[in-house]
Structure 1
Amino acid sequence: MHSSETIKVVPARYPLRVVGALVALLVLAVVIQSVAFNPRWEWGVFARWFFDPVILEGLGQTLLLTLLGTVLSVIFGGLLAMARLSSSWLLSSLAWGYIWLFRSLPLIVVLIILYNFSYLYDTLSLGIPFTGVTWASYQTINVLGQFSTAVVGLTLVQSAYTAEIIRGGFLGVDHGQYEAAAALGLPAWRRTLRIILPQALRTILPSGFNEIISLAKGTAMVYVLAMPELFLHHPDDLQPYPGGDPAVDGRRRLVSGDHQRPLRYSVSRGTGPGAQRTPLGGKQRPQQPSESTRTSTTAAGGRSCPALIMAISLSPGSANTMAATRRWTMCRWRSPRAR
Structure 2
Amino acid sequence: MKQTGAAQTMDMAGAPEIHKPTNVLRWFGVAVVSVICAWIVYQILFNPGFQWDIVGTYMLHPSVLSGIVQTIYLTILVMVLGIIIGVLLAVMRLSNDPLLAFCSHSFVWFFRGTPVLVQLVFWYNFGTLFPMIEFGIPFDGPKFIEIPANVAISSFTAALLGLGLAEGAYMGEIIRAGLMSVDDGQTEASKALGHRPWQTFWVVVLPQAMKAIIPPTGNQVIGMLKYTSLASIVALPELMHSIELIYARTFETVPMLIVAAVWYLIMVSVLTVGQHFIEKHYSKGWRRQEQVDG
Residue 197 of structure 2: aligned partner: 188
Given candidates 91, 94, 104, the residue that maps to 1:82 is: 91
Q: 2:271 aligned with 1:260, yes or no?
A: yes
Give unpaired runs (5+ residues) of structure 1: 279-313, 315-339
- Report the Cα offset of residue 227 of structure 1: 1.7
Partner of 2:208: 199
Aligned with residue 183 of structure 2, among 174, 177, 185? 174
Q: Give 1:319's aligned residue.
A: none
Q: Is the 8 A contact 2:55 2:255 kept in 1?
A: no
SS of alignment partner, residue 170 of structure 2: helix
Give the match's secondary structure for 1:139.
strand
Q: Is the 1:103–1:160 contact (alpha carbons within 8 Å) kept by the matching residues of 2?
A: yes
User: 1:148 — aligned with what?
Assistant: 157
Match of 2:171 in 1: 162
Q: Partner letter of residue 208 of structure 1?
A: T
Unaligned runs of 5+ in 2: 1-11
Q: Which of 120, 125, 131 is the matching residue for 2:129? A: 120
Structure 1 pair 45/121, CA: closer, same or farther in 2 (3 Å)? same
| 2:105 corresponding residue in structure 1 | 96
Residue 87 of structure 1: SS of its match in structure 2?
A: coil
Shift in Å, 1:116: 1.7
Retained in 2: the 8 A contact 1:238–1:245? Answer: no
DSSP 3-state at the match of 1:232: helix
Say whether 1:216 aligns with 2:225. yes
Distance 1:244-1:65 versus aligned 2 partners, 3 A rule: farther
Partner of 2:4: none
How far the C-alpha of 1:241 sits from its partner, in A, is 5.0
Distance 2:191 2:279 in 1: 27
Asked if structure 1 preserves the Cα contact closer than 8 Å seen for 2:49 and 2:254, the reply is no
CA 1:238 to 1:245, structure 2 compared with 1: closer, same or farther past 3 Å? farther
Cα distance change of structure 1 residues 14 and 145 upon mapping to structure 2, 3 Å threshold: farther
Pair 6,45 (structure 1): closer, same or farther in 2 beyond 3 Å = same
When normalised by structure 1's length, the TM-score is 0.71
Task: Check 1:115–1:244 CA distance in 2 against 1; reply closer, same or farther (3 A cut).
Answer: farther
CA contact (8 A) 1:63 1:216 kept: yes
Amino acid at match of 2:47: N
Count how many residue pairs are aligned between Structure 1 and Structure 2. Answer: 274
Query: Contact conserved, 2:58 with 2:256, CA < 8 A, in 1?
Result: no
1:66 touches 1:215 (CA, 8 Å); kept in 2?
yes
User: Is the contact between residue 202 and residue 273 of structure 1 (CA under 8 Å) also seen in structure 2?
Assistant: no
SS in 1 for 2:270: coil
Alignment of 1:1-339 (within 5 A): 16=23, 19=27, 24-129=33-138, 132-141=140-149, 142-234=151-243, 235=246, 239-240=250-251, 245-272=256-283
How far apart are the structure 2 equivalents of 1:82 and 1:239?
51
Q: Counterpart of 2:66 in 1: which secondary structure?
A: helix
Change (3 A) 1:238 1:272: farther
Deviation per CA, 1:240-274, whole angstroms, max 9, x where unpaired? 25698333322322223333233212211111155
- Contact 1:99 / 1:161 at 8 angstroms: preserved in 2? yes
The answer (yes or no) to whether the contact 1:62–1:229 under 8 Å persists in 2 is: yes
Structure 1, residues 5-62: CA drift from partner, whole Å, max 9, x if none?
9898979969559635565445433333333332212222111110111110111111
Shift of 1:129: 4.3
- The change in CA–CA distance for 1:268 and 1:133 in structure 2 (over 3 A counts) is same
Worse-matched range after superposition: 45-54 or 243-252: 243-252
**C-alpha distance in structure 1 between counterparts of 2:16 and 2:58, whole Å:** 58
3-state DSSP of counterpart to 1:110: helix
**CA offset at residue 126 of structure 1?**
4.0
**Aligned mates of 2:16, 2:215 — CA distance in 1:** 41
Distance 1:187 1:42, change over 3 A: same
CA distance, structure 1, for counterparts of residue 31 and residue 187 of structure 2: 51
**% identical aligned pairs:** 30
Secondary structure of 1:164's counterpart equals helix
**Counterpart contact for 1:107–1:157, Cα < 8 Å:** yes
Q: How large is the RMSD of aligned CA atoms in angstroms?
A: 3.1
Task: Report the secondary structure of 2:238's partner residue.
Answer: coil
Relative contact order (C-alpha < 8 Å, sep 6+): which is higher?
A: 2
TM-score between the two structures when normalised by the length of structure 2:
0.80
How far has the Cα of 1:154 moved from its partner? 1.4
In 2: Cα distance, 1:12 partner to 1:206 partner: 43
